[in-house]
Amino acid sequence: MQNTKMEKNEEVEGYKTGTTTVGITTDEGVIMAADRRASMGHLTSSKYAKKVYELDDNLGLTIAGSVGDAQKIVRIMRSQMNLHKLETKELTVKGAGTLLANILHGNKMMPFMNQFVLGGLEDGEGVLYDLDALGGLMKNEKFTSTGSGSTMAYGVFEDNYEDDINHDDAKDLAVRAVQAAMERDTASGNGIVVAEITEDGFNILEEKEVKKRLE
Protein backbone atom coordinates (compact mmCIF):
# COMPACT_ATOMS: atom_id res chain seq x y z
CA MET A 1 0.00 0.00 0.00
CA GLN A 2 2.78 2.41 0.88
CA ASN A 3 4.63 1.72 -2.37
CA THR A 4 1.44 2.26 -4.38
CA LYS A 5 0.88 5.59 -2.64
CA MET A 6 4.46 6.68 -3.35
CA GLU A 7 4.11 5.71 -7.01
CA LYS A 8 0.88 7.73 -7.34
CA ASN A 9 2.42 10.73 -5.63
CA GLU A 10 5.39 10.57 -8.00
CA GLU A 11 2.98 10.31 -10.95
CA VAL A 12 1.11 13.43 -9.85
CA GLU A 13 4.34 15.28 -9.11
CA GLY A 14 5.62 14.69 -12.63
CA TYR A 15 2.30 15.21 -14.40
CA LYS A 16 2.17 18.05 -16.94
CA THR A 17 -1.03 19.31 -18.51
CA GLY A 18 -1.08 20.21 -22.20
CA THR A 19 -3.54 23.02 -22.80
CA THR A 20 -4.29 26.63 -21.87
CA THR A 21 -7.28 27.78 -19.84
CA VAL A 22 -7.85 31.21 -18.29
CA GLY A 23 -10.29 32.96 -15.97
CA ILE A 24 -10.80 36.66 -15.25
CA THR A 25 -13.08 38.44 -12.78
CA THR A 26 -14.80 41.59 -14.07
CA ASP A 27 -17.19 44.30 -12.93
CA GLU A 28 -20.08 42.13 -14.17
CA GLY A 29 -18.97 38.57 -13.48
CA VAL A 30 -16.41 36.13 -14.86
CA ILE A 31 -14.80 35.41 -18.24
CA MET A 32 -13.43 31.89 -18.87
CA ALA A 33 -11.59 30.75 -22.01
CA ALA A 34 -9.54 27.88 -23.38
CA ASP A 35 -8.00 26.53 -26.56
CA ARG A 36 -9.54 23.57 -28.44
CA ARG A 37 -6.61 21.19 -28.93
CA ALA A 38 -6.39 17.75 -27.31
CA SER A 39 -3.01 16.08 -27.67
CA MET A 40 -1.45 12.66 -27.09
CA GLY A 41 2.29 13.17 -26.98
CA HIS A 42 3.20 14.80 -30.30
CA LEU A 43 -0.17 13.89 -31.87
CA THR A 44 -3.11 16.30 -32.03
CA SER A 45 -5.88 13.84 -31.14
CA SER A 46 -8.71 16.37 -31.46
CA LYS A 47 -9.14 19.91 -32.79
CA TYR A 48 -12.51 20.37 -31.07
CA ALA A 49 -11.86 19.38 -27.45
CA LYS A 50 -14.26 20.84 -24.90
CA LYS A 51 -12.43 22.48 -22.00
CA VAL A 52 -15.02 24.97 -20.70
CA TYR A 53 -18.12 23.44 -19.08
CA GLU A 54 -21.36 24.86 -17.70
CA LEU A 55 -22.09 23.35 -14.29
CA ASP A 56 -25.04 25.63 -13.52
CA ASP A 57 -26.54 28.95 -14.63
CA ASN A 58 -24.05 30.84 -12.47
CA LEU A 59 -21.13 28.42 -12.50
CA GLY A 60 -18.48 27.32 -15.02
CA LEU A 61 -15.49 24.99 -14.96
CA THR A 62 -12.36 24.84 -17.13
CA ILE A 63 -10.23 21.71 -17.31
CA ALA A 64 -6.62 21.00 -18.19
CA GLY A 65 -5.41 17.42 -18.37
CA SER A 66 -7.07 14.07 -18.97
CA VAL A 67 -10.26 14.34 -21.04
CA GLY A 68 -11.78 11.19 -19.54
CA ASP A 69 -11.13 12.31 -15.97
CA ALA A 70 -12.51 15.77 -16.73
CA GLN A 71 -15.74 14.38 -18.20
CA LYS A 72 -16.20 12.16 -15.16
CA ILE A 73 -15.71 15.10 -12.80
CA VAL A 74 -18.28 17.18 -14.73
CA ARG A 75 -20.83 14.35 -14.49
CA ILE A 76 -20.22 13.93 -10.77
CA MET A 77 -20.42 17.66 -10.08
CA ARG A 78 -23.65 18.15 -12.03
CA SER A 79 -25.23 15.17 -10.30
CA GLN A 80 -24.17 16.26 -6.81
CA MET A 81 -25.27 19.85 -7.39
CA ASN A 82 -28.71 18.72 -8.59
CA LEU A 83 -29.09 16.57 -5.47
CA HIS A 84 -28.06 19.50 -3.32
CA LYS A 85 -30.73 21.69 -4.94
CA LEU A 86 -33.41 19.11 -4.19
CA GLU A 87 -32.30 18.67 -0.58
CA THR A 88 -31.52 22.25 0.39
CA LYS A 89 -30.72 25.05 -2.03
CA GLU A 90 -28.33 26.07 -4.81
CA LEU A 91 -24.63 25.88 -3.93
CA THR A 92 -22.53 29.02 -3.78
CA VAL A 93 -19.32 29.16 -5.82
CA LYS A 94 -17.35 28.54 -2.63
CA GLY A 95 -19.65 25.65 -1.76
CA ALA A 96 -19.18 24.11 -5.21
CA GLY A 97 -15.41 24.57 -4.86
CA THR A 98 -15.44 22.78 -1.51
CA LEU A 99 -17.52 19.97 -3.00
CA LEU A 100 -15.09 19.52 -5.90
CA ALA A 101 -12.09 19.71 -3.54
CA ASN A 102 -13.58 16.94 -1.39
CA ILE A 103 -14.23 14.75 -4.45
CA LEU A 104 -10.64 15.20 -5.65
CA HIS A 105 -9.16 14.69 -2.18
CA GLY A 106 -11.20 11.51 -1.75
CA ASN A 107 -9.44 10.02 -4.80
CA LYS A 108 -5.88 10.95 -3.80
CA MET A 109 -4.69 7.32 -4.06
CA MET A 110 -5.72 7.32 -7.74
CA PRO A 111 -6.04 11.06 -8.45
CA PHE A 112 -7.82 12.64 -11.37
CA MET A 113 -5.16 13.91 -13.78
CA ASN A 114 -6.46 17.47 -14.05
CA GLN A 115 -6.21 21.09 -13.03
CA PHE A 116 -9.48 23.01 -12.72
CA VAL A 117 -10.63 26.61 -12.65
CA LEU A 118 -14.06 27.11 -11.10
CA GLY A 119 -15.76 30.44 -11.69
CA GLY A 120 -19.11 32.05 -11.08
CA LEU A 121 -21.22 34.72 -9.45
CA GLU A 122 -21.46 35.06 -5.69
CA ASP A 123 -23.33 37.96 -4.07
CA GLY A 124 -23.32 39.69 -7.45
CA GLU A 125 -19.53 39.52 -7.86
CA GLY A 126 -17.29 37.33 -10.00
CA VAL A 127 -15.30 34.68 -8.10
CA LEU A 128 -12.54 32.30 -9.25
CA TYR A 129 -11.05 29.22 -7.58
CA ASP A 130 -8.09 27.05 -8.66
CA LEU A 131 -8.10 23.33 -7.85
CA ASP A 132 -5.25 20.86 -8.28
CA ALA A 133 -5.42 17.09 -8.77
CA LEU A 134 -5.34 16.39 -5.02
CA GLY A 135 -8.08 18.83 -4.05
CA GLY A 136 -6.09 21.95 -3.18
CA LEU A 137 -8.51 24.89 -3.31
CA MET A 138 -7.27 28.47 -3.79
CA LYS A 139 -9.32 31.63 -4.39
CA ASN A 140 -8.20 34.13 -7.03
CA GLU A 141 -9.32 37.75 -6.83
CA LYS A 142 -8.32 38.82 -10.36
CA PHE A 143 -7.16 36.25 -12.92
CA THR A 144 -5.77 32.75 -13.24
CA SER A 145 -4.53 30.25 -15.84
CA THR A 146 -3.82 26.52 -16.02
CA GLY A 147 -2.06 24.16 -18.40
CA SER A 148 1.19 24.09 -20.32
CA GLY A 149 0.50 27.49 -21.91
CA SER A 150 -0.25 29.23 -18.62
CA THR A 151 3.17 30.89 -18.41
CA MET A 152 2.51 32.86 -21.59
CA ALA A 153 -1.06 33.65 -20.53
CA TYR A 154 0.12 34.98 -17.16
CA GLY A 155 2.59 37.24 -18.96
CA VAL A 156 -0.26 38.84 -20.91
CA PHE A 157 -2.35 39.23 -17.74
CA GLU A 158 0.45 40.76 -15.69
CA ASP A 159 1.13 43.31 -18.40
CA ASN A 160 -2.45 44.26 -19.26
CA TYR A 161 -4.86 43.50 -16.40
CA GLU A 162 -6.31 46.47 -14.51
CA ASP A 163 -8.31 46.28 -11.28
CA ASP A 164 -11.22 48.24 -12.78
CA ILE A 165 -11.30 46.28 -16.06
CA ASN A 166 -14.76 46.22 -17.61
CA HIS A 167 -16.46 43.09 -18.82
CA ASP A 168 -16.03 43.70 -22.54
CA ASP A 169 -12.32 44.50 -22.26
CA ALA A 170 -11.87 41.34 -20.19
CA LYS A 171 -13.18 39.27 -23.11
CA ASP A 172 -10.48 40.79 -25.33
CA LEU A 173 -7.82 40.14 -22.69
CA ALA A 174 -8.86 36.50 -22.25
CA VAL A 175 -8.68 35.94 -26.01
CA ARG A 176 -5.26 37.65 -26.21
CA ALA A 177 -3.91 35.54 -23.35
CA VAL A 178 -4.96 32.22 -24.91
CA GLN A 179 -3.76 33.35 -28.34
CA ALA A 180 -0.32 34.24 -26.91
CA ALA A 181 -0.10 30.76 -25.40
CA MET A 182 -1.13 29.12 -28.67
CA GLU A 183 1.68 30.87 -30.51
CA ARG A 184 4.37 29.41 -28.21
CA ASP A 185 2.91 26.24 -26.69
CA THR A 186 2.61 23.33 -29.12
CA ALA A 187 0.02 21.59 -26.93
CA SER A 188 -2.39 24.54 -27.25
CA GLY A 189 -4.16 25.50 -30.46
CA ASN A 190 -7.02 25.03 -32.95
CA GLY A 191 -9.12 27.98 -31.88
CA ILE A 192 -10.46 29.57 -28.72
CA VAL A 193 -13.68 29.08 -26.74
CA VAL A 194 -14.83 31.95 -24.52
CA ALA A 195 -17.61 31.84 -21.93
CA GLU A 196 -19.04 34.57 -19.74
CA ILE A 197 -20.95 34.24 -16.49
CA THR A 198 -23.09 37.23 -15.51
CA GLU A 199 -26.48 37.87 -13.93
CA ASP A 200 -27.93 36.76 -17.28
CA GLY A 201 -26.42 33.30 -16.77
CA PHE A 202 -23.77 31.20 -18.53
CA ASN A 203 -23.12 32.10 -22.15
CA ILE A 204 -20.66 30.82 -24.78
CA LEU A 205 -19.53 33.52 -27.22
CA GLU A 206 -20.15 32.84 -30.88
CA GLU A 207 -17.08 31.82 -32.87
CA LYS A 208 -17.37 34.85 -35.17
CA GLU A 209 -17.26 37.18 -32.16
CA VAL A 210 -14.10 35.49 -30.87
CA LYS A 211 -12.46 35.84 -34.29
CA LYS A 212 -13.45 39.51 -34.43
CA ARG A 213 -11.81 40.11 -31.05
CA LEU A 214 -8.63 38.42 -32.31
CA GLU A 215 -8.48 40.88 -35.18
Q: Is 148 helix (H, G, I), strand (E, B) or coil?
A: coil
Q: What is the DSSP letter of 139?
A: E
Q: Encode pLDDT of 6-62 as tens digits.
A: 344 434 433 445 799 999 999 899 999 999 988 777 777 778 889 999 999 899 999
What is d(CA 124, CA 113) in angstroms, rounded to the nearest whole number? 32
What is d(CA 165, CA 181) in angstroms, rounded to the nearest whole number? 21
Catalytic residue among 17, 19, 26, 62: 19
pTM recorded for the entire structure: 0.87
Q: What is the DSSP letter of 105?
A: H
- Sequence-distant (6+) residues with CB within 8 A of 166 are 26, 27, 28
The structural domains of the chain, ordered by start, are 17-214 (3.60.20.10)
Q: Mean pLDDT over all residues of the chain?
A: 87
> Is residue 5 scored above 50 in pLDDT?
no
Greater pLDDT, 76 or 8: 76
Greater pLDDT, 111 or 195: 195
Q: What is the DSSP letter of 182?
A: H
Q: Active-site residue 17, yes or no? A: no
Percent of all residues in the chain with a pLDDT value above 90, rounded to a whole number = 57
* Torsion sign, CA atoms 22, 198, 104, 141: positive
pLDDT score, position 4: 40
- Decide: 153 and 182 in contact? Cβ < 8 Å: no
Dihedral, CA of residue 208, residue 46, residue 179 and residue 15, to nearest 10:
150
